[in-house]
Amino acid sequence: MASKKVVMYTDGACSGNPGNGGWGAYIEIDDKKIELSGSENNTTNNRMELKAVINALDYLNEKRDIIIFTDSKYVMQGIQEWIKKWKINRSIFLVCFNNNFLFVLFYSNFCWT
């Protein structure tokens, strides 16, 4: 059986930094379309960007290939660079990065290749 094609578009925003913020994700699984969103008080833009991706991945709740579209350099660098460094030296990662607990959640719960 072929794996379903999954594409997700994510975004986060904040009014003030910190301030009231929200995140959204639009997921396409073959012909199925899913919209997810959430909000938090006293948060940051980067946190909302990360929460959008984490919540979208968590919604899928199964291992599969996924294409993620984001406009966040913070999220892209986190996935492509920082997580690899954290894997090598966890203590530096935990000290140096804001929202480190979200990146740890990211890394611990999802398979990155």
In a domain, 1, yes or no: no
Confidence of residue 77 (pLDDT cuts 50, 70, 90): confident
Phi first, then psi: give them for residue 32, nearest 5 degrees: -85, 135
Three-class SS of residue 100? helix
Q: Is the pLDDT of residue 100 over 80?
A: no
Confidence of residue 49 (pLDDT cuts 50, 70, 90): very high
Question: What pLDDT is stored for residue 69 in this prediction?
Answer: 94
- Number of domains composing the chain: 1
CATH at 78 = 3.30.420.10
What domain range is 105 assigned to? 6-109
Q: Give the torsion through C-alpha atoms of 45, 48, 49, 51, to 10 deg.
A: 160
